[in-house]
Amino acid sequence: MTGADKASSSGEDKPWRPKLVLASASSRRLELLQQIGIEPDALLPADIDETPGKTELPRSLAARLAREKAHAAAKVAAGRPELAGAYVIGADTVVSVGRRILPKCEILSEAAQSLRLLSGRAHRVHTGVCLVNPKGQERRKMVETRVRFKRLSSSEIEAYLGSGEWRGKAGGYAIQGLAGAFALKLVGSYSSVVGLPLYETMSLLAGEGYPAQLFWLNRV
């Protein structure tokens, strides 16, 4: 039970706050927001083409997709009376080795190829975040994190592929899961590698006047 729920159940007035929409169906992004005490009023995943442009760089791709997701969700939210005046957060994570963009793996062969490429070397994880405020204006942040994997044996790769944890993940792995055992070194934001950089997200919200810390009190 959140602090707001407790206040309501005890007969106290529930503090007002504007609506917040997460432009994602990702359970990990939702959990990250909840970790810092933020509960979205709606999840509105955006159906957009995530194919990289022919010469698009990883950083640019992450920024573009975050922006497109946020604006697509904002458009849907604007048509729903219960979400009128909502803030909308969109995010996208891209894993790259040099300029090579690794896929968000959906088939076994993609994941196997990605893991073999990442084995024993460093790669970069780019996460773009875009916040669209109630006036339709946007603010953006980009976070780049460097991750180095241990050299993976064939049995480790096969076991990880067998777990199915790679499915739908950029670069074919989820660092918050089993693949955490592969990471020798991480320089940057761990939460960004998971899918949503918390410091930057909170900064965007606070900068636009969203009372993100309103329900921190009396959470326990």
**Active-site residue set:** 92
Instruction: Tell me the C-alpha distance between 129 and 64, whole Å.
Output: 10
DSSP state of 103: P
Residue 101's contacts (CB-CB under 8 Å, 6 or more residues apart) are 52, 56, 58, 61, 94, 95
* Two structure tokens written together for 126: 């780019």
Phi, psi for 127 (deg, rounded to 5):
-125, 120
DSSP, res 105: -
Q: Amino acid letter at 174?
A: A
Q: For residues 187 and 18, what is the distance between their CA atoms, to the nearest angstrom?
A: 35
Would you state the structure tokens that stand for residue 84, as one six-digit string?
Answer: 């009128």
**How crowded is residue 60: how many other Cβ atoms within 10 Å of its Cβ?**
16
Backbone angles phi, psi at 91, to 5 degrees: -145, 155
In the chain, DSSP finds a helix count (H) and a strand count (E) of 7, 7
